[in-house]
């Protein structure tokens, strides 16, 4: 009986130990399953949140950096350039009035106009004309080519001056000056004392004068950059005679002799006309001299003998 009880007492700790190990294993398995199930239940939300956070991080970090890099790498947009173009042409033509009409037509067809014009003639009767043409800058080269084709080009000079910085500076100063004038007017509306009003009126007058000066400069720059200036000089070609290179003939010799004959008599007439006053005075002096000298040389009459005639 006692031995049986001892055997049972030895089996109980072994069974209890086995049950304890089994319970611990089941507990570990349950915890693992719980962790797996919790991970499985939160996987969709956690992944969505992580993706959202990652996307936001990309947008705020790498995406923004890329956009910043793109904006930094991209070149700034440049405004339109403003260039003053001038040119001078010297063209020799056969008929100056005809060439001038062609130049006017080319200029007007291009949308420009004719400015100053002056015409002269040289000692040989050849006509020379100088005219100033204003043409749009986009038609500048086209007009120059057309004007060169009116005759034989003798000289061409062209100049281009970039005034973009001046245009931008003037526009900026105009904006600032207008804002300054507006502020002075606001102060005048709020002023209550006459002394303040007088002071503000003087300041307003000064700033308006500066604004008008800037506007005039802006207008001048706009006119000079939108319209190119072309100074055209036209001169006639000397007309060559048909017989200029031929040998002189009988008619040419006769004409030359006649011209020489007329020239000789013309010079003789001129010489005679120049000497005639002196010759007339000399003849008058000689005439008077001969008259007075002849009287002084005439003999005195003989005296009659005393006592009369002998009988």
CA-to-CA separations, 110 to 115, 146, 266, in angstroms, rounded: 15, 11, 58
As to burial, measured by CB atoms within 10 angstroms (0-12 exposed, 13-18 middle, 19+ buried), residue 231 is middle
Predicted local confidence at residue 179, as pLDDT:
95
| Average pLDDT, integer, range 261-281 | 83
Residues 6 or more apart in contact with residue 122 via CB below 8 angstroms: 128
Which tokens hold the place of 240? Answer: 């060559």
Q: How confident is the model at residue 132 (pLDDT cuts 50, 70, 90)?
A: very high
pLDDT of residue 51: 39
State which of 187-201, 207-221, 262-276 shows the largest mean pLDDT. 207-221
Measured distance between the N- and C-terminal CA atoms of the chain, rounded to whole angstroms: 266
In the structure, what pLDDT confidence band is assigned to residue 42 with cuts at 50, 70 and 90?
very low
- Four-point Cα dihedral 32, 33, 34, 39, nearest 10: 90
% helix / strand / coil in the chain, to the nearest 5? 65, 15, 15
Buried b vs exposed e over 39-59: b needs ≥16 C-beta within 10 Å? Answer: eeeeeeeeeeeeeeeeeeeee
Contact, 112 vs 146, CB < 8 A? no
- Going by C-alpha positions, the residue among 98, 202, 197 that lies closest to residue 151 is 98
CB 202 within 8 A of CB 59: no
44 pLDDT higher than 70 = no
Q: What sign has the CA pseudo-torsion 120, 123, 125, 126?
A: negative
Q: What is the pLDDT of residue 4?
A: 43
Give the confidence band of 302 by pLDDT, cuts at 50, 70, 90.
Answer: low
Mean pLDDT value across the chain: 74
Q: Which of 76, 83, 227 is nearest to 167 (CA)?
A: 83
Helices (H) and strands (E) in the chain, counts: 7, 5
How high is the pLDDT of residue 249? Answer: 64
Q: What is the pTM of this model?
A: 0.48
Q: Which token pair is 109?
A: 């067809």
Partners of 30 in beta bridges: none
Q: Which helix (H) or strand (E) holds 1?
A: none
d(CA 33, CA 36): 5
* Digit-coded pLDDT (tens) for 150-165: 889 999 999 999 999 9
pLDDT in tens, 57-78: 334 444 344 444 444 444 444 5
Closest CA to 140 of 84, 90, 92: 84
Residues 222-241: pLDDT tens digits?
999 999 999 999 998 754 44
User: Higher-confidence residue: 291 or 304?
Assistant: 291
């Amino acid at each position: 009986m006692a031995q049986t009880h001892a055997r049972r007492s030895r089996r109980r700790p072994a069974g209890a130990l086995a049950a304890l190990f089994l319970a611990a294993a089941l507990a570990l398995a349950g915890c693992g399953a719980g962790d797996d199930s919790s991970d499985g239940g939160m996987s969709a939300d956690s992944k969505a949140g992580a993706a959202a956070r990652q996307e936001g991080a990309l947008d705020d970090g790498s995406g923004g950096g890329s956009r910043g890099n793109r904006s930094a790498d991209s070149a700034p947009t440049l405004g339109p350039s403003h260039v003053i173009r001038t040119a001078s042409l010297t063209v020799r033509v056969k008929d100056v009035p005809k060439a001038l009409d062609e130049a006017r037509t080319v200029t007007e067809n291009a949308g420009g106009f004719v400015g100053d014009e002056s015409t002269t003639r040289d000692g040989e009767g050849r006509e020379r004309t100088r005219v100033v043409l204003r043409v749009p800058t986009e038609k500048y080269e086209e007009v120059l080519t057309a004007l060169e084709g009116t005759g034989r080009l003798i000289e061409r000079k062209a100049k281009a001056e970039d005034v973009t910085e001046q245009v931008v500076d003037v526009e900026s100063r105009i904006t600032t000056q207008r804002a300054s004038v507006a502020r002075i007017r606001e102060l005048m509306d709020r002023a209550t004392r006459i002394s303040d009003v007088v002071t503000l009126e003087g300041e307003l007058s000064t700033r308006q004068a500066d604004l008008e000066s800037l506007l005039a400069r802006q207008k001048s720059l706009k006119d000079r950059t939108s319209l190119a200036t072309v100074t055209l000089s036209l001169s006639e070609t000397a007309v060559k005679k048909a017989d200029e290179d031929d040998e002189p003939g009988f008619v040419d010799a006769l004409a030359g002799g006649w011209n020489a004959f007329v020239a000789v008599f013309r010079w003789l007439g001129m010489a005679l006309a120049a000497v005639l006053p002196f010759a007339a005075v000399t003849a008058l002096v000689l005439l008077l001299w001969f008259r007075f000298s002849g009287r002084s040389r005439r003999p005195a009459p003989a005296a009659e003998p005393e006592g009369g005639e002998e009988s």
